Structure formats: C-alpha cells, structure tokens
Structure 1
C-alpha cells in the first residue's frame, strides 16, 4: 500500500479508517518518548523519526541527501509496521525487545530484523514501543550507526 503523502499529517489522513486510531496513538507514544533531537518527517514513504542533518550532516549512507533514519511507521497492505533501525544494529536492543514482548502482548511476535508487524490494531503494545523509542538519544544512535559502518 503506497501512499503519496508529503507530511506525516497527510499520511495519517490516508490511513484506512480501521487503523487510524491505533496508528495515531502509536505515533503519539513515539513522539512522547523519543529523546530530544529526533525530527518527525516523511522518510521513504513512511512517517519517519530521523536524526536531522543539523545534528548529523553526513546523512544516511545509502543516500546522504536523506537524514539518518531511526524509527518509521507504516500502514502496509496487510499490517501496520514499526521499523526500528537500532534493533538491526544492536543485538542487545533486539534481544531486549524480543524478551519483553511476551510480557506486553498475548500475540506471537511477528518481526524481521528491524520491522515489527501488527495485523490488528488491538495487538499493538504501546507502552513497550514507547520504551523502545526512548532507548537511544540521537547522539547514541549516531555512535552506534557509525560503529556499524566502519566494520
């Protein structure tokens, strides 16, 4: 499901009605828990929370014109997704999340390396995702990101 949105607000308007409340709450939880310095924007067709060029001029190595992504939210065809790039880069954060998930949800975790998928709005563990969003400051994310680039 590709949406042609130019702002997070426009993206939210295009989300299917049955997902709007859950995605709105998820967006709000992330915004409330992210450390200062991250910026909300559109990133790769999704709502993105990024390290802006003002804090990290080098940008994303895949496309330096883009700011460094950290968390993205998407409404895909069959699920809603949270992409948390530090889980891909840091096995400790990944393991923490996988270990905590059963304490917050009765559903089986549907996850890739950085993508957490939710097929039903009622399955989203908002508090846990808020904790995940708060795990790293922009400075810590930049340090982790750069440490993985150098390998």
Structure 2
C-alpha cells in the first residue's frame, strides 16, 4: 500500500487530500458488498443469530427460509439528495449484504422470530422439543 503520509512532506498541503482519496480509491474495498458480522449462540432451547447492522430500520431487512436455508439480506440504495452548498467530502456508499445459514432438522422453523434493536438484528431459532422415546422390550419367540 502506498504510504501517502510520507508523501505529504513532498507536495504542497493542498494536494494532501487528493493523495488520500486516490489511495482509498485504489486500495480500499469500495467495490464489494460488505459482510455484516454475525454471532451465533446456542442455548438449551434455541439458537440465536445476532447480525450487527447499525443505522437501519426493521423494514430494511429481508429474512427468508427456503428449503432449510435461512437467508438474511439488506440492500441500501444510494441517496441522491440535493441541498444547498457544495460537498467537500462525501463518503456515503451503496452497501448491501447477504448471509445464508443452512439449518438442521432440530430447528422448529414455524417458531422462528426476529427483532431489530440498537443496531442488532436478533433472530431466534427455537429448537424442536425432543421427547425421549420409551424403550420397548422385544420378546424372543
């Protein structure tokens, strides 16, 4: 990666921002979708999937269950607002993410629920109630 800070001493101060912007343009990952960080916790009764996604609303998310694959997605459209003044710097980017998780047959798919609070999307995947089958003695004829 180019050390633009070292170059600041060799160019006039007014060019410093240009070097930084060029460095970010060529070396930052601005072209790909982001992957939202996920934590998964198991309790006695459920699995909990926590997706870190601050600054959104619950209506922004799409959660689907298709053939035992839980799909979580969000797509943010780039806003084009016109306001008075001239932007000196605009770092808002188009961002989206998609995550998929294959569920096993221990999940009660009819009882899955989700909440979005304080930037965390929490999806609860309740486990099916397991009943121990009674042992049956087989008599030998």
User: Which TM class, normalised by the smaller chain length?
Assistant: under 0.3
Tell me the TM-score normalized by structure 1: 0.26
More helix by share: 1
Larger Rg: 2
* Structure with the bigger percentage of strand: 2
- The normalised TM-score by structure 2 is 0.27
